[in-house]
């Protein structure tokens, strides 16, 4: 390749990589796999090395990640948050060690850690309390995500020692099992799926509503100190991690000191085998020079430090054949195509099925029955078809089309504008009924222990139930004749059904399976209305005015309760003694802030957010997570974020914590 040809290819690669970065970092919706991206960037790097005149300062090989989104306040980092140089084989690792030796580091001692595939964050504590958090952004400027990170339950809100200042770098991640459930819920709702756990973590933190972040159950591991005051200077990376652990910050226990190349490769191979058993997703191993003093001499490029490297595991993929495509029907009527595959061993298990998500995915990848395909596990959990191998087609492959009629009840199917899922329109569809009952009895809904999918199927096949209300008419004698249920099990199940009558309105609303109404929405509605009948009488405008209930959810709720069969279902559930009382009719606490709505923004001086919330509620206030026209006070702390701008635009009064304490003490609200 001559320089002119190289210039054309460099331009092509640069344009493509910038496009892929935009999708990955700004939209949290990657267009290609991490491995394919790495290979393109590696090709660009090799061309720039071969033809130095083609290297540009803004090349993807010279710049870090993404950029700070304008919808978030921007935060300048105290020190650059750099990326890491990639290694793809043992030769790359050997070359890295040799560079350290040539730079004057004799017998380099390296600390190996799993390379977690999450979202990089800078988290700040002031006087020992959580104060702020920001994304990496472009390495110099990130996004202020303080309110969202504060909603992560696993984040320590207070250090074990009250340091004046500590900013640490860490990785937020979503556990694999929760990632799988999150995508299952999104698929059932017809929402876009997360491509991988990193995508899910980023999408969860870069939210405008912190309650969405809180619902995702994120976790964090910390691994570096960006700036500090009141801490002794650690001598090594190992000591640095011990200091973080002593302060109460979670650090990854899967780390090992490696004195030579052999120990590096041995631990790497061990972790390659163990990765599937980890609760989080990893895509490689990070090797850092353990002693800290030599790092100052080695320095960094504009993109990564010279004292660390990231070995990327090659993607675990397998080749197999699509033998058939089956369409299932969920409780909301969503049709989900699933590929039946020739069984193949992948990432420690035999795979014979893979979800194809929706008809757009099938069309975009041109997946046909009979195709030879490459599959992998998204986040080591969910089997997915990565791509088709068209060169292996024989001409006998069959193009697949989603059915115009439901494969279970033969009713018409339809796809609403803006949705990815096609749906069966028949609410009495047997498949929808089965999934609806399985959801209704699940642990987070009515929690009927012992009533699993197999028992639900038997109840439907025997004609013992026609809807969820029918569960409450079942007798011990009827249950005892089912397969795998004797007298004792039937008695236990009858007791469990009876106990579920008192779960409360919030769980009932979630269990009814109203589209877009999840656990959180059920709690919000239960807190607002005294009973289900008051909720049934609410129109869309009233529902939309409730914090956290948007127009799409409001339309879904009002539409569901407007249907005669659903009204009849509620009547039958009520006749069965199911509790339909909410919290909205109960008296609010008496106090100076009674009937006032308060929103907290920023870090309050000398008190944690949860403690402040408890005091406000004790004074009679309702503490909300978002500013609206119904907000009475915005309680301002340090680094308040975007809520202040919205409060100002709506004319909401802003008060300091000191002023709020005076209001609570003097009763002047």
CA distances from 661 to 484, 624, 635 (A): 61, 18, 11
Instruction: Give me the residues paired with residue 472 across strands.
Output: none
Report CA 21 to chain centroid distance, whole Å: 19
Which tokens belong to 245? Answer: 């652990």
Instruction: Give me the residues paired with residue 141 across strands.
Output: 76
- Strand ranges (E), 180-281: 219-229, 256-258
Give helix then strand counts, H and E, for the chain: 24, 24
Of 239, 312, 342, the closest CA to residue 93 belongs to: 312
In whole angstroms, what is the distance from residue 76 CA to residue 285 CA?
28
In whole angstroms, what is the distance from residue 542 CA to residue 555 CA?
11
Give every CB contact of residue 227 below 8 A, 6+ residues apart in sequence: 78, 79, 165, 166, 167
Of 413, 265, 212, the closest CA to residue 328 belongs to: 413
Of 91, 89, 62, 100, the closest CA to residue 307 belongs to: 100
- Strand ranges (E), 19-128: 74-76, 86-87, 110-116, 119-126
Q: Which residue has the tokens 């035999």?
A: 350
In whole angstroms, what is the distance from residue 598 CA to residue 630 CA?
9
Q: 70 an active-site residue? A: no
Cβ neighbours around 611 below 10 Å, total: 12
In whole angstroms, what is the distance from residue 147 CA to residue 366 CA?
42
Of 358, 429, 370, 178, the closest CA to residue 281 belongs to: 178
Catalytic residue among 45, 115, 254, 288: 115
In whole angstroms, what is the distance from residue 43 CA to residue 224 CA?
31
Contact 178, 216 (CB under 8 A): yes
> Which residues are known catalytic residues?
115
């Amino acid at each position: 390749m001559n320089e002119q040809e190289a210039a054309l290819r460099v331009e092509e690669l640069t344009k493509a990589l910038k496009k892929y970065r935009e999708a990955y970092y700004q939209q949290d919706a990657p267009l290609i796999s991490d491995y394919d991206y790495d290979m393109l960037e590696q090709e660009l790097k090799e061309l720039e090395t071969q033809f130095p005149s083609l290297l540009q300062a803004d090349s993807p090989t010279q710049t870090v990640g993404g950029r700070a989104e304008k919808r978030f306040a921007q935060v300048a980092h105290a020190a650059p948050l750099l990326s890491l140089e990639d290694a793809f084989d043992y030769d790359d690792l050997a070359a890295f060690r040799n560079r350290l030796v040539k730079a004057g580091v004799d017998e380099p001692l390296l600390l190996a850690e799993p390379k977690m595939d999450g979202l990089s964050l800078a988290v700040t504590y002031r006087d020992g309390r959580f104060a702020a958090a920001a994304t990496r952004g472009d390495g110099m400027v990130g996004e202020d995500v303080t309110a969202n990170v504060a909603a992560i339950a696993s984040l320590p809100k207070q250090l074990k020692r009250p340091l004046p200042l500590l900013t640490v770098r860490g990785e937020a991640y979503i556990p694999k099992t929760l990632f799988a459930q999150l995508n299952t819920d999104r698929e059932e709702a017809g929402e876009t799926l997360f491509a991988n756990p990193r995508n899910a973590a980023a999408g969860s933190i870069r939210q405008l509503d912190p309650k969405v972040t809180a619902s995702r159950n994120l976790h964090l591991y910390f691994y570096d100190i960006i700036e500090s005051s009141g801490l002794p200077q650690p001598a090594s990376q190992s000591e640095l991690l011990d200091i973080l652990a002593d302060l109460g910050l979670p650090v990854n226990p899967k780390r090992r000191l490696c004195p030579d190349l052999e120990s590096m490769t041995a631990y790497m191979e061990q972790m390659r085998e163990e990765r599937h058993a980890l609760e989080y997703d990893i895509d490689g191993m990070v090797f850092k020079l353990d002693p800290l003093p030599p790092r100052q001499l080695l320095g960094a490029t504009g993109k990564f430090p010279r004292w660390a490297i990231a070995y990327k595991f090659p993607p675990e993929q397998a080749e197999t054949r699509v033998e058939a495509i089956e369409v299932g029907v969920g409780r909301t009527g969503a049709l989900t195509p699933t590929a039946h595959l020739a069984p193949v061993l992948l990432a420690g298990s035999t795979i014979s099925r893979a979800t194809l998500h929706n008809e757009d995915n099938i069309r975009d990848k041109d997946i046909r029955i009979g195709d030879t395909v490459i599959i992998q596990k998204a986040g080591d959990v969910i089997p997915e078809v990565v791509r088709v191998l068209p060169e292996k087609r024989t001409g006998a492959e069959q193009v697949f089309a989603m059915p115009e009629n439901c494969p279970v009840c033969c009713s018409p199917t339809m796809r609403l504008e803006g949705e990815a899922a096609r749906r069966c329109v028949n609410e009495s569809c047997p498949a929808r009924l089965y999934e609806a009952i399985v959801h209704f009895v699940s642990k987070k809904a009515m929690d009927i222990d012992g009533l699993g999918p197999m028992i639900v199927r038997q109840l439907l096949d025997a004609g013992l139930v026609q809807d969820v209300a029918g569960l409450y008419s079942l007798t011990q004698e009827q249950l005892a004749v089912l397969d795998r249920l004797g007298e004792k099990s039937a008695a236990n199940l009858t007791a469990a059904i009876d106990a579920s009558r008192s779960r409360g309105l919030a769980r009932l609303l979630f269990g009814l399976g109203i589209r877009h109404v999840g656990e959180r929405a059920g709690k919000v509605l239960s807190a607002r209305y005294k009973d289900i009948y008051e909720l049934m009488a609410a129109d869309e405008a009233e529902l939309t005015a409730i914090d956290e209930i948007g127009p799409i959810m409001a339309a879904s709720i009002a539409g569901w309760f407007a249907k005669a069969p659903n009204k009849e279902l509620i009547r039958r559930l009520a006749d069965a003694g199911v509790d339909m009382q909410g919290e909205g009719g109960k008296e609010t606490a008496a106090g100076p802030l009674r009937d006032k709505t308060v929103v907290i923004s920023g870090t309050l001086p000398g008190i944690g957010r949860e403690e402040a919330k408890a005091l406000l509620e004790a004074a009679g206030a309702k503490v909300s997570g978002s500013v609206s026209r119904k907000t009475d006070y915005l309680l301002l702390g340090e680094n308040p974020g975007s809520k202040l701008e919205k409060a100002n635009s709506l004319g909401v009064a802003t008060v300091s914590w000191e002023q709020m304490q005076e209001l609570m003490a003097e009763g002047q609200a």
